[in-house]
Amino acid sequence: FPASTTKIMTAMLMMERCWPNDIVTAPADIEKVGEASLHLKPQEQLSVRELLWGILLRSANDGSVAAAVHCSGSVESFCAKMNERAKQIGCTGTNFTNPNGLKDPLHVTTARDLALMAREAMRYPEFREIVRQRKHTIVRSINQADTQLISKNKFLQIDPTADGIKTGFTRPAGQCF
């Protein structure tokens, strides 16, 4: 189970399908998305760029769902595009069922496939810029009290030359990097 390392593909598809200044509006049921969160409110708006920071640094599950709906109209449609893109870059053991990595027995990948996804995502300068940062402040339309994002990637604290990429955790997956 890939846990939040799933968000490598989510962010990559956002960068490929959206402009950084596009505005993403959180769907009406956004508050139902659990665990790591930007605490998005229904109809809250963020730019794609700000949402990328939230997805990659905070590991925002709600941000990933908002991104999926923005990019493809639904989570299901976005996951189909995730699976298609994974195959394009040579992934053979990956199946995405959501954009955030929350528990699902059919949501799986391999270490090899994660390496392929990470290598592909690192081709994007904006992705590289975000994943190597320890913290960042975003601009939001509604929740002004929750703007400071801090990465949980301990390697960024230990080694200032570390690239970062993505961490994740769920009980079935354990600690992922």
The residues carrying an active-site annotation are 4, 7, 59
The type of residue at 116 is: L
Residues whose CB falls within 8 Å of the CB of residue 145, separated by 6 or more in sequence, listed in order: none
Q: Which pair of structure tokens corresponds to residue 133?
A: 């940062």
- C-alpha 18/C-alpha 48 separation (Å) is 7
The type of residue at 65 is: V
How many CB atoms within 10 Å of residue 41?
A: 15
* Cβ-contact 6, 99 below 8 angstroms: yes
